[in-house]
Structure 1
Amino acid sequence: MTRQVSRRRVFYIPGYDPIHPRRYRELYRKEGAAQAAISGYEIALKPKGGKGRYGWHITGRMDGAEVDTDVAVLVWSDIVRDSMGHSIPATYLGLVRTAWAYIGTGALWRLMRLRKGPVIAALYPVGFLLLQLVLALALGWGLGSLFNLGLARVGAGVAAPWAGIVLAGVVAVVVLRWFKARDGKFFAYYLMHDYSFSARSLGANPPALEARIADFADAIAEALAGDCDEVLVVGHSSGAHLAVSILADLIRAGRLPADGPVLSFLSLGQVVPMVSFLPRADRLRADLRYLSLREELTWVDVTAPGDGCAFALCDPVAVSGVAPEGKRWPLVISAAFTQTLSPERWKELRWRFFRLHFQYLCAFDRVGDYDYFRITAGPVTLADRYAGRVPSKSRIESAVSKYTSVAA
């Protein structure tokens, strides 16, 4: 039986992002207005009242109904910023550790069997940071050599070697700092910190993140004890695997009221294999296995082959090698960017890789059955919206991970 939604609570879990959560409110405001104009419904935003977690209130008018939605952003940007606060030498040390984590354990070769796009995205910061280092050293060596040559010609040959070495070092440092100061364009340092965050512990959650997961679980449990009709958890990018663990913890602990709201989970642009393929990701693999069996929620996983930063149409449970008998979730579907965006719009966005990774949160000018704003602000639950929907035929379900151990 279809359940009409008049009140909804949404918990949005961002990926590895150091930016203030107001970014997501402004993105929702702008893109929601664009989708409403395209699809012929109404969405109005206003600031969230009172104290507490950052969020906003939505009034959606669509399909002959009015729906009130409260959105809260589950913020872990402070943990992200702390993990990014490294010097240039520390970043290069992290590069070595990350390369070892994926190459030394064999995870990289397994990931390449899934999708090349996210693997290339992972290799990009390694390659570009090494290129920066080579350029810095080459320029330093070249200018240092020229300086030494000039000193030798004026009769200062004894001091020349040391002076040239000092100059070479100064030039190399200046070049490396120049690149780092402009990482807002290159994203090499940002992506390196992103991948090294999980790699440094080989897939295990650091204590600060485990504490935040418990805090997020408390917030969602409180909403489930309230009087809304649906509690919708949205995990984007790295936020998807955090959501998996949060929801698994909630259900294991029996924190879902028998007569409470519908519980829904929407994972978008997930990169789960980047963590679940690592040897110490036992906790995540156990949570994936557990959540895939549960009847207490609906889990829909949306990706698109056009998103080169996500493991598009890779069933995160199956490819991690932990799919149990009787597996129910997730329902893997495609946002199909080449079909849901007009040729003109697709041409504009095709090579903007980071922007495409956020397209799931944006308007589609040829929208299909995936509409982020109908899901979050409309009168239909996630389960009813996708009832009877078959999974994507091109999904990947092969067990690829070398490591399949799970936490006891």
Structure 2
Amino acid sequence: MNTGQIGRTSAVKRRRVFYIPGYDPIHPRRYRELYRKEAAAQGKISGYEIALKPKAGKGNYGWNVRAQIDGQAVTAQVDVLLWSDIVRQSMRSSIPATYWQLLYTAWVYIGSGALWRLMRLRKGPVIAALYPVGMLLMQALLALAVCAVVYRLHGLLSEHWAAQVLFAFAGAALAVGLLRWFKKKDGKLFAYYLMHDYAYAARTRGANTPELEARMARFADDIAEALAEDLDEVLVVGHSSGAHLGVSVLADLIRAGRVPQNGPALGFLTLGQVVPMLSFLPKAHRLRADLAYLSARDELAWVDVTAPGDGCAFALCDPVAVSGVAPQGKRWPLVFSAAFTQTLSPARWKALRWRFFRLHFQYLCAFDRPRDYDYFQITAGPRTLAARYAGRPASKSRIDHAISKFTSVAA
């Protein structure tokens, strides 16, 4: 790992953490409660003290952390950089509109050739992408079958045309009711949720929407303000889809000269990233340019953590290299595995193995057999991200060769 960042500072007493969630419509208190619960659990396992307090004042939703780790006292302020309102707006589609999204999204990924390239990376996230298609089609077929069965019943009772019309309406009503029931139960099925997620990227064929660009500019302002404070480290964490937002936000900050040379150390941690789902699309010029730019900068340390056990992430896929934009002098990211099968006990792994969405959030949770990845020591511990992973080799099994068909970085 490049060690250029260590010259600034390696010890941390005060830190700001900016967490960028993935495509998630839920209120950010979910992340606070997850941090509170899992930090306490990891502290008991690893032998350190960590506690949360409410964040005072206006601004982003967040919380304050006080920790005693390795005999050092550390304070951290965690801010959640929200775009859940944009997510919720994108999910406000009727049932017919969602099926139209299905057709359009399939056409974008299949017609562009992106789907076949993604399948050469990891099958897990591709299966996750195909799941809502299969589930929604199955729901539609069941509804059509119900409609057909009810309509056929008129032949057993009456051949009169009025009976045909009555049973046709009854069948259609039951079919619509069944589709509405499936949508109501999507909190357990996740078909509509995942469909909206992939459709959001496909609708612009990989380009950011204007409302997302405006929100990212606000994120950049918040981070720039923290970089001007008397801190030891500013750490940006991008989880899932939040990883590619973080790439562009930080690239913008560095290009604009908003990262002071003598300011806090700047760390960037990407977790469970799904960058190729966007960067492999034809119009993802902006993201590919930002990936290439950020990967060669010495203003930050960038660490990418995934795990093959996470079926929703592109595990051990170097997001810069597989997107085909690795420049000369590439430094980042350092790619390694959280190794769920080794860092979770056999009993814990057995309990979580088939809970795919829960595993996608495991990076933010406690490990009962932790190794060198500990989310709470990274966000509240006494060392910078750069110092923590100085000399740490990348995982040998990472995928670091170009696979994307589209590599252009200019629109």
Question: What is the TM-score normalised by the length of structure 1?
Answer: 0.98
CA distance in 2, matches of 1:338, 1:60: 28
1:168 is the counterpart of 2:135: no
Partner Cα distance (1:25, 1:230) in 2: 21
Matches within 5 A, 1:89-238: 89-152=96-159, 157-238=160-241
CA distance in 1, matches of 2:129, 2:377: 33
Aligned to 1:359: 362
For 2:229 and 2:410, how far apart are their aligned partners in 1? 32
Q: Is the 8 A contact 1:16 1:77 kept in 2?
A: yes
Aligned residue runs from structure 1 range 237-316, under 5 A? 237-316=240-319
Cα contact 2:343–2:370 (8 A) shared by 1: yes
**Matched-pair contact (CA < 8 Å) for 1:269–1:360:** yes
In structure 1, the partner of 2:66 is: 59
Q: State the match for 2:3 in structure 1.
A: none
> Displacement of 1:70 after TM fit?
0.2
Q: Which amino acid aligns with 1:37?
A: K
Please give the secondary structure, in 1, of the residue aligned with 2:121. Answer: coil
Distance (whole Å) between structure 2 residues aligned to residue 151 and residue 352 of structure 1: 50
Partner Cα separation in structure 2 for residue 181 and residue 92 of structure 1? 16
* 1:72 aligned to which of 79, 86, 93: 79
Secondary structure of 1:302's aligned partner = strand
Asked whether 1:334 is paired with 2:341, we answer no
Take 2:193 and 2:279, find their aligned partners in 1: how far apart are those partners? 21
Deviates most, 159-168 or 65-74: 159-168
CA distance in 2, matches of 1:406, 1:160: 62
Residue number among 376, 382, 404 corresponding to 1:373 in the alignment: 376
Find 1:389's aligned residue among 368, 387, 392.
392
Measured in 2, the distance between the counterparts of 1:71 and 1:158 equals 67
What secondary structure is seen at the aligned counterpart in 2 of 1:159?
Answer: helix
1:136-167 per-position Cα deviation (integer Å, ceiling 9, x unaligned):
01011101211353233xxxx12122222211
Report sequence identity in percent.
74
Whole-Å separation in 1 of the counterparts to 2:161 and 2:298: 79
Q: Using the alignment, how far apart are the partners of 1:135 and 1:97 within structure 2?
A: 22
Alpha-carbon contact 1:148-1:163 (below 8 Å) kept: no
Residue 39 (structure 1) aligned with residue 46 (structure 2): yes
1:12 and 2:15 equivalent? no
2-structure distance, mates of 1:175, 1:96: 21
Following TM superposition, the consecutive aligned residue runs of length 4 or more in structure 1 with deviations greater than 4 angstroms are none
Q: Runs of 5+ in structure 1 lacking a partner?
A: none
Output the aligned Cα RMSD: 0.8
**Contact between 2:25 and 2:84, CA under 8 Å: does it hold in 1?**
yes
Deviations 1:246-265 (A, max 9, x none): 00000000001121000000
Residues 10 and 386 of structure 2 are in contact (CA less than 8 Å); yes or no, is this contact kept in structure 1?
no
Q: How many residues align?
A: 404
Aligned to 1:50: 57
Measured in 1, the distance between the counterparts of 2:366 and 2:260 equals: 34
Q: Matches of 2:170 and 2:405 in 1, distance apart? A: 48
Work out which of the residue numbers 344, 347, 350 in structure 2 matches 1:344.
347
Distance 1:229 1:150 in 2: 80
For residues 194 and 318 of structure 1, what CA distance do their matches in structure 2 show?
A: 24
Give structure 2 stretches of 5+ with no counterpart: 1-6
